[in-house]
Amino acid sequence: MNFVPFSLSYKEKTRTYMHYWLSFFLLLSTTLTAQTIQTGIKSLDKRNMALTLLKMYDPTSYAMIEEYEAAPSTYQLGDEIIVIEEKESLVKYLEEDNYISVIDGLNQAVHEVAHGYANHMSYKYIQKSNELYDWNADHYAFFINGEVLIVPITETFPAYETRHLFSEELQTFRFPTYIAPSYRNLNTQANGIYGLLNELVAYYHGTKAAYEMYHYFDQYSQGTPEDWLVYLANVNSTYYAYLEFKLYIYKYLIYAKAYHPQVYEEVLNNVAFKRTYQLANRHFEKLIQDYFIQKSRIVKQLQKANYKVTEDNEYIIIRGKDYASGRGNFLKTYKTLKKELDKNTYKAIEMVLSE
């Protein structure tokens, strides 16, 4: 059981109690009106608002964040003491204390906390079961749908080396950041394919958090076109990262096999790496399929409300009386990457990673 420290101010106590009681009523009561619940959520500060929304609609992300925030900042591995000087903060990526701003920031906030988890939580599990791990090796800890996987980082080379394998058409939005020109200290350069896996998992978590907010918009928002465009824009901004990082990982292995055979062999012999990739790949693919179905429901709902909804390979646009607005959907990028990954070259890589 959690107790509120007596050192909290009256305002902090009020917010904390409200967070716990709101969660309690949301779980146990069926008599609260949508207006009452929405008012309760809106009265919270941005941190508790985000945590309450995640606890209601994305409990796996909530569990990851709860474990990460509760973890110590100091670990002892043999004679070595590891100190985490700064943890990732959910609040850092949430701009204002209002529900639209919080929902708008959840994708990035959960993404960044997933990085914090990956970078720091391995120490907790290594310390707990030190006989299973090599203290001298670096590790990532990945949390995927309740399962924690500790992945040792074997020898790598920077993802920058693979840049010539990408045609101009395949150099999509995230290519400059994570492949080339990129930054020397970015995880995709410092830890190569393991950094690419780190990004794949983080984008999965962020996209999933954005996707799950559908239930909030469906139950407690006004259901206006603007509400749904906020929701769609949040998911649309990152869902196609799934195929970007899948392609980056496959290209990395193709290049490694040709020019860094030892790296290639060590990655393929890394059971934890392959298991993590398999889980991330399966869950992210399913998430996108579910999102496309969900988007169709939203379109039908808006059409029933007499709005005209059109979508091409670049935009989804909603029109009504005295109203017209739209957002980018990145379908052109998604389809280009999917067509590329359907080639037999990548099917062979996928088979090797599935072994």
Three-state SS sequence of 237-305: CCCCHHHHHHHHHHHHHHHHHHHCHHHHHHHHCCHHHHHHHHHHHHHHHHHHHHHHHHHHHHHHHHHHC
pLDDT band at 219, cuts 50/70/90? confident
Q: Is the pLDDT of residue 218 over 60?
A: yes
Q: Give the per-residue pLDDT at 113.
A: 97
pLDDT band at 77, cuts 50/70/90? confident
Q: Is the pLDDT of residue 143 over 60?
A: yes
Average pLDDT over residues 275-294: 98
Q: Give the per-residue pLDDT at 39.
A: 62
Average pLDDT over residues 214-238: 91
Q: Element (H or E) spanning 350, and its range?
A: helix 344-354
Q: Give the per-residue pLDDT at 116.
A: 96
Q: Give the per-residue pLDDT at 16.
A: 42
Q: Give the per-residue pLDDT at 53.
A: 93
Tens digit of pLDDT for each residue in 114-142? 999 999 999 999 888 766 666 667 999 99
Q: Is the pLDDT of residue 33 over 90?
A: no
Q: What percent of the chain has pLDDT over 70?
A: 86
Q: Are 277 and 249 in contact (CB under 8 A)?
A: yes
Chain centroid offset of residue 272 CA: 20
Extract the tokens encoding 243. 């195929």
Segments making up each domain of the chain, as ranges: 33-354
Q: What is the mean pLDDT of the chain?
A: 88
pLDDT band at 81, cuts 50/70/90? confident
Task: Quote the CA–CA distance of 58 and 46 in Å, as a whole number.
Answer: 17
Q: Give the per-residue pLDDT at 28.
A: 44
In this structure, of 103-107, 221-225, 312-316, the range with the lowest mean pLDDT score is 221-225
